[in-house]
Amino acid sequence: MAKKETKHTPLTKLKFQDPIFGISFHPEQPRFVVGSSTGTVTAYKYSVDPQSATCGAPEVVWTTKRHKGSCRALIYSEDGSSVYSVGSDGVIKRADSQSGKVRAKNTESLPSTPSCIVRSEAYVAVGCEDGSIVAFDKTSLAEKHRAEGAHDGECVNALLELTHQNKHSFASLGSTTACVVDVRKGVKSTSDDQEDEILCGTMAAKDMGVCGMSQGQITTWTLGFNDQQNRVKLSEESIDAVIGAEDDYEVYAGGGEGIVWLANVKSGKKLDQFVHSRNDEVSFLDLDYQYRLVTASMNSLKLWPTADDEQKQAEVAAAKGAEEEQKATPSGPPRKKHKKVKNKAHNPGVAHFGDL
């Protein structure tokens, strides 16, 4: 069970006026991008103080109307120099991450509305609502390969790169099945029907995939993605987002309850939890360049501290408390009491200097 007494406070949070359909955090810098339902893509920067582990509000670096309709998904390149985005207009674009200027685009290759995007060693791949997967050149965005027919033509909810097999392979998750796809040759295998919709997925280690299910479980899979090997019940509501944690076989998973759990998929144990919201579901998860957890619903985003951040915060609070206590305590040597001198000729009602 999760540690019930553990409470975490986000380092910073951000509210959005328009619903967001995608987030991506820079792999090397304190920056992130957000794609919205209006087709706008906005880049932000933030700063976490290395001494106190405090963070101010994120600042806008640039914002632009990138797509007609909505921005369905977006992701940084491996080095963070580019941002790839896909929209309901059927267009994929590559933009400079510092300026937001478009460097390449493809307006013709997506056969239906895009639903997800992933980068691999060789491609940027996009999953679509008709079960198609299109692989693009990472620089020019020219179409390289296309695979069709995954999930009997149902929507691709998530794509996972399987570069341990070869640079052309992906796991496609959608409807109630998982497929292994070679984008040059098409669908190679399809799992047994899980009788439960697979909503999201991640690689928990090189030899294990993890899927989030509509009935509140995460399921583990071997590399062939033929059938689930184990399941961990996390919630009474759906698991809509899952991402690998810093350690192998540990994942963050969240969904309809607005809570994100850290779970070990080998032991099946909940290790920790983060409450994003009691009112909104968790739709997106990411990690920043220092492995801080990021949680987001369609209208808010939160950046959470690492254990090291929380240790720094505790040390700063303890030092501040000690300083305030010291200020409240009188300083210097105690004042010397003067001994009263009795006057033998003391007259009642008359004060003598010795009595003062």
Q: What are 236-286's pLDDT values in tens digits?
A: 999 999 999 999 999 999 999 999 999 999 999 999 999 999 999 999 999
Q: Quote the pLDDT of residue 322.
A: 74
Q: What are 81-123's pLDDT values in tens digits?
A: 999 999 999 999 999 999 999 999 999 999 999 999 999 999 9
pTM, two decimal places = 0.88
Going by pLDDT thresholds of 50, 70 and 90, the confidence category of residue 334 is: low
Q: Quote the pLDDT of residue 328.
A: 74
Lowest mean pLDDT among 38-42, 280-284, 347-351: 347-351
Instruction: With CA atoms as reference, report the closest residue to 151 among 205, 117, 115, 107.
Output: 115
CA separation for the pair 108, 110 (Å, rounded)? 6
Please state, as a whole number, how many other Cβ atoms lie within 10 Å of the Cβ of residue 343: 12
Class of domain 191-282: mainly beta
Average pLDDT over residues 315-337: 71
CA separation for the pair 75, 32 (Å, rounded)? 10
pLDDT at 355 over 60: no
CA separation for the pair 86, 35 (Å, rounded)? 9
Q: Quote the pLDDT of residue 239.
A: 98
CA separation for the pair 219, 279 (Å, rounded)? 26
Q: Quote the pLDDT of residue 134.
A: 98
Average pLDDT over residues 308-323: 87
More confident residue, 326 or 151: 151
Sign of CA dihedral 342, 345, 349, 354: negative
Asked if residue 226 lies in contact with residue 184, where contact means CB atoms within 8 angstroms, the answer is no
Asked if residue 255 lies in contact with residue 212, where contact means CB atoms within 8 angstroms, the answer is yes
pLDDT at 350 over 50: no
Q: Quote the pLDDT of residue 321.
A: 74
Going by pLDDT thresholds of 50, 70 and 90, the confidence category of residue 348 is: very low
Average pLDDT over residues 225-244: 96
Sketch the domain layout of the chain as residue ranges.
191-282
Q: What are 43-59's pLDDT values in tens digits?
A: 999 999 999 999 999 99
Q: Quote the pLDDT of residue 333.
A: 60
Q: Quote the pLDDT of residue 163.
A: 81
